[in-house]
Amino acid sequence: MARQEEIDRLKSRLHWESGGPLAHLANQAVDAFVETGEALAAWVRKRGEERPLVSLLFALQLGFAAGRWGPRRAKR
């Protein structure tokens, strides 16, 4: 009897870790994130086609800001 209980406990643990409710929630979160990313990419693409020079300026500003946020280098 104790052996069967141990097997049942291990099966339930395996089920929980391999695809329990957390996996379902994680899949929903990833799907929502991907959907939002695709919508953002479509919006940026549309704005880039409408006003390419403004988009280029904005991209340069983002690149400059990202470079400033990077790791600090030692000054000589």
Q: How confident is the model at residue 48 (pLDDT cuts 50, 70, 90)?
A: confident
Integer Cα distance of 21 and 25 in angstroms: 6
Residue-wise pLDDT for 12-28, tens only, equals 888 777 766 777 788 89
Q: What pLDDT does 61 receive?
A: 92
Please, what is the Cα angle at 30 between 38 and 20, to 5 degrees? 160
pTM given for the model: 0.53
Q: What pLDDT does 75 receive?
A: 61
